[in-house]
Amino acid sequence: MIRSLPNARTYTWSFNLFILCYFTFLFAPLAVTCILAFNDSNFPSLPWYGFSLDWFTSPGPERVGIFHDEQNLRSIWTSFQTAFWVALFSTVVGTCTALLFEQEEFPMKNGLYFLMLAPLVIPGVILGISLLLAANSAGTFFEDRFGIDIGLFRPSFWLVVFGQFSFITTFVALVVSARLRKFDRTLEDAAMILGATRLEAIGLITLRYLRPAIIGAAAVAFLMSFENFNTTLFLVGSEPTLPINLYLQVRDGSTPVINAISLLLITGTSCLALCNLYFSKKED
Amino acid sequence: MANDLSVRELVRTFGDFTAVDDVTFDVPQGSFFSILGPSGCGKTTLLRMVAGFDEPTSGTIAIRGTDMCGVPPNKRPVNLVFQHLALFPMMNVAENIAFGLKRRGMQSAEISRKTQAILERVDLPGYGDKRINQLSGGQKQRVAIARCLVMEPSVLLLDEPLGALDLKLREQMKVELKKLQAKVGTTFIYITHDQSEALVMSDRIAVMNNGRFEQVGPPRELYSDPHTPFVARFVGENNAWSGTVEEVDTHVRIRTEEGLLFRARSHDAYPAGTRVDLFLRPEALRIEPEGKSLNTFKVTVKTILFDGANSRLLTVTPKNHELLVSLPQNRQFDYIQPGDIITLDWHPDSGLCFEA
Amino acid sequence: MKSGYRLTLWLFLAPVLLWLFLLIVIPHLDLLLMSFRGESGVGNPVWTLQNYKNFFTEPIYWRTFVRTALYAVITTLCTFVLALPVSFYIAKLARPRTRGFLTVLLLLPFWVSELVRVYGWMILLRESGVFNYVLLKMGIIHQPVEMLYNDVTMIMGLVYTSMLFMVVPLISVMESLDDSLIEAAYDLEASKFAILRTIIIPHCKPGITSGAIVVFMLALGNYLTPNLMGGKNSLWFTEQIYNQFIASFNWNQGAAFGFLLLVLSSLIIWTGLKVTRQRLGEVAS
């Protein structure tokens, strides 16, 4: 049954086989996507016509490789910018949230905590539409009342940032809270009795202790933002993020340039994820 | 001699619960003062108020004559050695010690000079670059104390810092702390629930119970002349025996529940018929005395609790009341076996009774 | 000292309040309000229940709604059935060294965008896809078969997408299960199935609940997978919302749909928590 108990050979082998199948199931689509990025063909499918880097480097006009594909490159850059701001905002606010709920006492704390968890259980699509509606209402209000047109309230780059920030912050808060719960509060008291103010104590001791968790959470926030689709779909303006842009291309028929982008994405995110994992292991 | 700390009529309540109840005391400059009490007696609350982490409900705390009301912990001339030391794990030893000096905006050359000096003082020269988790328990202890002493506080507070150490090291650190305090001359206020720590190290001890000070005095006085039954029970070992006052002359005559008649001492004059508790230290009981007095009686040895220099006999009276008796160290009673019936006797001045 | 504490409290509280009220509370209140708005015959905005009436009178709307909920439940069940042995293997059967490696391997695909994963399945399964090519070459089929665009594939896609959120909580609860309990049960001559039923599953309940809640919610709110892998007539409710917003530009109707979906997901999560007697806070951490 478990490792310490005697197991029948068939039991062990069938279990091993099952796990092998499972991991094949897990990796087959990714592996096929990556391999077909190098196929010297105009369609992302078999047969194999030979190895080619066309879908990465070809300048066109027949085949436009990813490094020359203006539209996709622009969407990658948009995604980078979005993810950067989302990671920044959600890390700052998420850390504040963790410190607030772990260290401070105030009335209605439980109610607010519940509200803080709500983005976890609100489907992303609904977050997107409700933010779109609210932004639109606010925009109309400002235009009717003051006669000013605020671009922020129309689907745009910053609306996407705020939409993603609204739920990613909860994840950051949970990650940082988990680490903060292991923090010995007397370290803060010790800093204060040695002459530090409360803010100095938090900055010099608590945040320094939380640093690995904060960096990890920022990386997760960056990734979550980079690949978010559901919320972004409703808030995106004239600058589509990469997932939106890819979606439009996949829906309307595809070329292996999508495979090339996918390959870059897979390598990039894997590296980031592995780094994150490595550093969090090291800290423990 | 000037007082480093003066506490007057200090009260701290949490809702209906009074954690610290009308406490008044002075700690003279350069002394080692302990507050001894069981957990939950309010000693930690008292300490947190002195440190500035908590505000008193009423009463005053003055350090070197300055009222500390409303002064935050980082502005008070006191430092605290925490129960679990609270050394900053992300910094090395030198950085830990320099932390407070840096907050004062001291020059870095001055900081490193002071850090070196204090490390030498606590016998850890050259340990500045070590990480906290490379230190042994006793070394951590000394770093924690050095981190506070380098701030040159008027008063150093210590919150049971030996609690986490193992027994052997604890014994060793008791002596070391006492020597260190004598060397640096800073006023130490030491909180503990361990009466042996308090007795060994302190110049004066306050015994605290249910938020109040039961008795304040030098260790010897607390041991030999407890003023309340709580102190008698809590400080050192004591046999308790309940009985009734029969008559009062120079001593009190007490009839125990099983009919034995004794003469003992008391602080107050109790009228005949008062129910009292009689306290007898194990070493006050003499085994097989020569001659006979009113306080002579017979007991059965139940078992021998051998513990080196601290060996005792567990004995029972005919009515099954247990009494601990110290075994003298000259081996003259090595012949005693469990089941033996022996005669005990004690001097009327060494038994103390309190109204029950 | 008191004022110092107040200062830090406000320093932390202010951004949190701004975030929660501006980006969560107000938008959802607006969603609720908008769902009760509509236009009168002459085009003036009025309060109305029409948007909800439409939902109940048009079979396509509420059928899609029920279908979506049902399929989300099926997805959750399938994910659980698949995740249980996997997490058991990793937590209890794998060698300690391989355990860490397998866990990392398990996590990796989920760091990649959902879109890339769905795209991978598309080029595997479609009519001109890799599977068809291989099967044709091997002579098993003679005509390409369209494996995409049906309900089974869509559910498989949903299971694949949300797998991680079931496996990770299951592994962590299983690791907390003391091996000696299983050994004791084995020693007392319990069968494998009995051990699974009486020891492992009861112990894993908190992990199962949190996993099931997240998977259910993700499946319910998913747009990409049903849209790209589901068939033309296997509409998902999020697609209805999208259509109302983007295609028909009927935001009030869309808001009503959105609110209904929100109510459904909250209701099922709430029931799940009540049945297993857990609190959201515990499940989240």
Question: What's the pLDDT tens digit per position in C227-278?
Answer: 888 876 668 888 888 888 888 888 888 888 888 989 988 888 888 788 776 6
A97 touches chain C (CB under 8 A): yes
Residue in C closest to B69 by C-alpha: C1
Percent of chain B with pLDDT over 70: 100
Token readout for C261 is: 């979906």
List the single residue in B73, B87, B88 with the smallest CB-CB distance to A193.
B73
Write down the pLDDT at residue C285: 47
Q: Evaluate whether residue C20 is within a structural domain.
A: no
Asked if residue C2 has pLDDT above 70, the reply is no
Q: Evaluate whether residue C28 is within a structural domain.
A: no
Q: Which residues of A252-270 are buried (b: 16+ CB within 10 A; e: fewer)?
A: eebbbbbbbbbbbbbeebb
Length of chain A: 284
List the single residue in C120, C192, C238 with the smallest CB-CB distance to A29.
C120
Interface test with A, best of C3, C20, C113 (most A CBs within 10 A): C113
What is the reported pTM? 0.82
Write down the pLDDT at residue C278: 67
B114: exposed, middle or buried (Cβ count in 10 Å: 0-12, 13-18, 19+): middle
Q: Evaluate whether residue C33 is within a structural domain.
A: no
Q: Evaluate whether residue C103 is within a structural domain.
A: yes
Does C41 or C117 have the greater pLDDT score?
C117
Question: What's the pLDDT tens digit per position in A154-176?
Answer: 888 889 999 999 999 999 999 89
Contact criterion met (CB below 8 Å) for B297 and B288: no
Q: Which residues of B116-155 are buried (b: 16+ CB within 10 A; e: fewer)?
A: eebbebbebeebbeeebeebeeebbbbbbbbbbbbbebbb
Write down the pLDDT at residue C282: 56
How far apart CA B279 and CA B223 sit, in angstroms, is: 12
Third-level CATH fold of A71-253:
MetI-like fold (1.10.3720)
A154-168, B232-246, C43-57: which range is least confident on average? Answer: C43-57
Asked if residue A249 has pLDDT above 50, the reply is yes
What are the domain boundaries of chain A? 71-253
Residue B272 CB neighbour total at 10 angstroms: 11
Does B164 or C168 have the greater pLDDT score?
C168
Cross-chain Cβ contact B70/C1 below 8 Å: yes
User: What is the pLDDT confidence band of residue B11, given thresholds at 50, 70 and 90?
Assistant: very high
Give the residue numbers spanning the domain of C92. 53-284
Question: What's the pLDDT tens digit per position in B260-308?
Answer: 888 888 888 888 888 999 999 998 888 888 877 778 888 999 999 988 8
User: What is the pLDDT confidence band of residue B202, given thresholds at 50, 70 and 90?
Assistant: very high
Alpha helices (runs of H) in C50-178, residue ranges in sequence order: 50-57, 59-88, 96-111, 114-125, 130-138, 151-162, 164-175
Count of structural domains within chain C: 1
Write down the pLDDT at residue C280: 63
Asked if residue B45 has pLDDT above 50, the reply is yes
Q: Which residues of C touch A41 (CB under 8 A)?
A: none
Q: Evaluate whether residue C19 is within a structural domain.
A: no
Cross-chain Cβ contact A195/B84 below 8 Å: no
Across chain A, what does the average pLDDT equal? 85
Question: C26-35 and C251-276 are packed helices; what angle lies between their axes, rounded to 10 degrees?
Answer: 120
Q: Evaluate whether residue C116 is within a structural domain.
A: yes
User: What is the pLDDT confidence band of residue C132, given thresholds at 50, 70 and 90?
Assistant: confident
Which domains are present in chain B? 3-233 (3.40.50.300), 237-355 (2.40.50.140)
Q: Which residues of B touch A184 (CB under 8 A)?
A: 84, 86
Write down the pLDDT at residue C283: 53
Write down the pLDDT at residue C1: 42
How far apart CA A114 and CA A121 sit, in angstroms, is: 11
Residues 65-84 of B with CB under 8 A from C: 70-73
Q: How far is A116 from chain B (nearest CA, A)?
A: 30
Does A271 or A62 have the greater pLDDT score?
A271
- CA atoms within a 13 Å half-sphere pointing along the CA-CB vector of B221: 12
Residue A27 CB neighbour total at 10 angstroms: 15
Across chain C, what does the average pLDDT equal? 83
A151: exposed, middle or buried (Cβ count in 10 Å: 0-12, 13-18, 19+): exposed
Asked if residue C78 has pLDDT above 90, the reply is yes
Percent of chain A with pLDDT over 70: 97
Q: Evaluate whether residue C166 is within a structural domain.
A: yes
Q: Which residues of C touch B73 (CB under 8 A)?
A: 1
Q: What CATH number does the domain containing C80 carry?
A: 1.10.3720.10
